[in-house]
Amino acid sequence: MKLNLDHIHLRCENYEASIDFFKKMFGSVEVAKFEVGGWPVVKISLGDTFISLSPKKPDVSVKCPASEPHWGVYHIAFKVDSLADTVAELKAKGGKFAVEFAPMPNGFNAAFFVAVDGLQIEFLEKA
């Protein structure tokens, strides 16, 4: 079986702010906008993959803040050519990092970016 990642789908506390965030920080572009069961979904580019965003349903409560450990997606990660350049570019756009540089035991250096709704995005550079 051959698998290729098509997209990651995130439910957003603030749908429009989340779309704007990914456009501002990563130059994401809307590639599709549609509804599933009457619920809006926007699919945007993120690197060489896609992320789908939709608002949380009003009758659904979040069990714990996204910034606390929880089941489900912990973070998403992207390899980059230059960790320093990536950190500098995102900080220049107003981005915030939980960790700007951390040597990892697997031969990579990492930075952890704080995205919308407490999502962390890890950037990895070969050490």
Q: In this predicted model, what pLDDT tens digit does every residue of 52-95 receive, in sequence order? A: 999 887 777 766 665 666 656 778 999 999 999 999 999 999 99
Amino acid occupying residue 125: E
Residues 14 and 53 in one domain: yes
Residue 125 has pLDDT above 90, yes or no: yes
Sole residue written with tokens 């572009």: 29
Lowest-pLDDT choice from 3-12, 20-29, 32-41, 81-90: 3-12
CA triplet 12, 17, 46: central angle to 5 degrees?
A: 75
62 domain residue, yes or no: no
Tell me if 6 is assigned to some domain: yes
Same domain, 52 and 76: no
For the full predicted model, state whether its pTM sits above 0.85.
Answer: no
Q: Which residue segment(s) compose the domain that 85 sits in?
A: 72-127
pLDDT(17) > 60: yes
The rounded distance, in Å, linking the Cα atoms of 64 and 42 is 25
